[in-house]
Amino acid sequence: MARNEFDFIAVKRAMISNPDWANKVRQSDTAGLKGFSSGGLAELV
């Protein structure tokens, strides 16, 4: 972030557990966000 770069991988990991991540962040609903779990990766397959 110090170099004004965006951590795309971190955002994508958050979106695996929270498909509506962008809306929740936009609405400041951080309490509704779930932490990343590798178990969520199994649901993608």
As given in the structure block, the two tokens for residue 40 are 């969520």
Residue 3 lies in a domain: no
Q: What pLDDT sits at residue 28?
A: 93
Q: What pLDDT sits at residue 43?
A: 72
Query: Domains in the chain: how many in total?
Result: 1
Q: What pLDDT sits at residue 7?
A: 72
CB 40 within 8 A of CB 17: yes
Residue 1 lies in a domain: no
DSSP secondary structure letter of residue 4? S
Residue 37 lies in a domain: yes
- pLDDT digit string (tens) for the chain, length 45 residues: 567 676 777 777 778 888 898 899 899 998 988 888 777 777 766
Q: Tell me the C-alpha to C-alpha distance, in Å, between residue 25 and each of 3, 18, 36.
A: 22, 10, 15
The pTM of this model reads: 0.55
Report the sign of the C-alpha dihedral through residues 32, 38, 39, 42, in that order.
positive
How many residues are recorded in the chain?
45
Residue 27 lies in domain: 8-44
